[in-house]
Amino acid sequence: MNPLLSRVLVAVVALPAVLGLVWLGGWWLWGLAAVATMLALHEYFTLARPLRPHVLGGYGGALAALVGVQLGGVEWMLAGFLSTLALSFVVQGLTGGRASPTVALGSTVLGVAWIALGVGHVLLLRDLDDHGRLAAYTLLLTVWAADTAAYFFGKLVGRHKLAPRLSPGKTWEGFVAGSAAAVFVAFISLYRTGFVDGWRSLVLGGVIAVSAVLGDLFESSFKREAGVKDSGRLLAGHGGVLDRLDAFLFASVACFYAILALDTSA
């Protein structure tokens, strides 16, 4: 099947489900977040296999972080995440791993911090008082718009490589187009809402655009080291789950704290 057609078909099926679960929020969205986190973490552990991360400790810490964010917000999320250290240490002791404990524990904690905390901040956005649904939708639509504009504009007129060593397909022209799309969508999404609107929405759009690209390049560095094009094959033309989440894992964190700084409605 044509890769572009495959991407479109997956998007047509997945987008309504994701948007619907974001609308519902609560444990419905938590279930999607948990499944996505575990699948993405599995792909990360596959990429990081030479470092011998403690897989069971990582899964346990990620799940604890997600349960924490759902039950008690950011403080409990961080408490759950910190359990990764103890769980990984226990796994190290039980299995007597041959890898360096520093490398094994470090790669485990990095994966959980990157993926579970990134997804956890999407849940934090959805749980914002009064404007949670709007904040989550703004993040999703802004990242999707930036990614789509960067992809097509880069294919059409892209000439100058953004980060040739990490992601040869990305161009400065695509980045500029994606950033413009992100700022525009954020502005339209928040226009006259009384919630991070006006010039603040333009700032938020810029923050999301830049952090999304950094998240994408961050994952690309792991794939380049592992010598693979995609983190997995689950989503056909979209690659793996981590390939679809990479931009959100940085953008969700940046978006959450940018909103806390910019929101004047509280």
User: Mean pLDDT across the chain, nearest whole number?
Assistant: 90
Q: What is the pLDDT of residues 163-177, one digit of tens each?
A: 888 888 899 999 999
Separation CA 214–CA 197 (nearest Å): 25
For residues 226 and 2, which has the higher predicted lDDT (pLDDT)? 226
pLDDT at 114 over 60: yes
pLDDT at 97 over 80: no
If you search the block for the tokens 């094959």, which residue do you land on? Answer: 233
- At 232 the pLDDT is 67
Q: Is residue 133 a contact partner of residue 22, using CB atoms and an 8 Å limit?
A: yes
Calculate the dihedral angle through the C-alpha atoms of 219, 222, 225, 227, rounding to the nearest 10 degrees: -70
pLDDT at 11 over 70: no
Q: What is the pLDDT of residues 190-211, one digit of tens each?
A: 998 989 999 999 999 999 999 9
pLDDT at 121 over 70: yes
pLDDT, mean of residues 88-92: 88
Separation CA 237–CA 151 (nearest Å): 14
pLDDT at 6 over 70: no
Beta bridge partners of 163: 167
Q: SS3 of 152, please?
A: helix
Count CA atoms within 13 Å of residue 246 on its CB side: 23
Indicate the pTM of the whole model: 0.92
Tally the residues of the chain.
266
Q: Is residue 123 a contact partner of residue 70, using CB atoms and an 8 Å limit?
A: yes
pLDDT, mean of residues 43-57: 93
Beta carbons within 10 angstroms of residue 20's beta carbon? 12
Helices (H), 25-131: 26-47, 55-72, 74-95, 101-126
pLDDT at 54 over 90: yes
Q: SS3 of 259, please?
A: helix
pLDDT at 237 over 60: no
Separation CA 146–CA 205 (nearest Å): 10
pLDDT, mean of residues 69-93: 94
